[in-house]
């Protein structure tokens, strides 16, 4: 899977989970029918958000984005639906072009982030499992810490 395909899929998944979370918020705060959708879709959105961050960092390293570009791509996950705008902008700028440049017959990694990425490219199944475990662990820690805003108790 190319950097473009991976980034595009996660940008789209981020938009879908934002839409689901907003639907859940509509059900909770406007129709007052249930808050279950916020809990379920919020958890799903949080996990996809963390995955999007991991993928964005990997593509940033691979594509050698300037810091400003990387921060724009990362920040686009905060407002609803902005990751698609960021993906299209990166596409127009040619910042998603090419294949993975590290590992195999590609370039030799020079920095620690490049070595980690080269390891992941060389072992995609293990990298996937590691990424999923990292997202689940981060999600568990964030759930343990609690919500970002105090919730009202009914």
- The reply to whether 140 falls in a domain is yes
Which residue has 């979370």 as its token pair? 21
Q: What is the band of 143 on the pLDDT scale with cuts at 50, 70, 90? A: confident
Q: What is the band of 35 on the pLDDT scale with cuts at 50, 70, 90? A: confident
- The reply to whether 87 falls in a domain is yes
Tell me what pLDDT residue 152 has: 57
What's the whole-number mean pLDDT along residues 49-78? 96
Q: What is the mean pLDDT of the chain?
A: 92
- The reply to whether 151 falls in a domain is no
Tell me what pLDDT residue 6 has: 95
- Does residue 105 register a pLDDT over 80? no
More confident residue, 4 or 152: 4
From first CA to last CA, the distance across the chain in angstroms is 47
- The reply to whether 19 falls in a domain is yes
Q: What is the band of 154 on the pLDDT scale with cuts at 50, 70, 90? A: very low
Which residues, at least 6 apart from 3, have a Cβ–Cβ distance to it below 8 Å? Answer: 58, 59, 62, 63, 96, 98, 99, 100
- pTM for the predicted model, two decimal places: 0.88
- The reply to whether 152 falls in a domain is no
- The reply to whether 52 falls in a domain is yes
3-state secondary structure of 123: coil
What's the whole-number mean pLDDT along residues 96-101? 93
Q: What is the band of 53 on the pLDDT scale with cuts at 50, 70, 90? A: very high
Number of domains in the chain: 1
- The reply to whether 153 falls in a domain is no
Q: Which helix (H) or strand (E) holds 88?
A: helix 82-92
Residue span of the structural domain in which 129 resides: 3-145
- Does residue 151 register a pLDDT over 70? no
């Amino acid at each position: 899977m190319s950097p473009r395909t991976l980034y595009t899929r996660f940008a789209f998944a981020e938009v879908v989970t934002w839409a689901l979370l907003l639907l859940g918020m509509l059900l909770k705060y406007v129709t007052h029918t249930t808050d279950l959708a916020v809990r379920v879709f919020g958890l799903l959105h949080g996990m996809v958000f963390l995955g999007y961050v991991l993928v964005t960092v990997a593509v940033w390293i691979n594509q050698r984005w300037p810091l400003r570009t990387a921060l724009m791509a990362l920040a686009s996950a905060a407002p609803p639906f902005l990751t698609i705008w960021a993906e299209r902008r990166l596409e127009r700028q040619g910042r998603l072009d090419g294949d993975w440049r590290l590992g195999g017959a590609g370039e030799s990694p020079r920095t620690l982030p490049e070595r980690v990425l080269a390891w992941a490219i060389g072992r995609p199944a293990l990298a996937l499992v590691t990424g999923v475990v990292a997202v689940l662990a981060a999600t568990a820690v964030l759930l343990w810490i609690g919500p970002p805003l105090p919730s009202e108790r009914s």
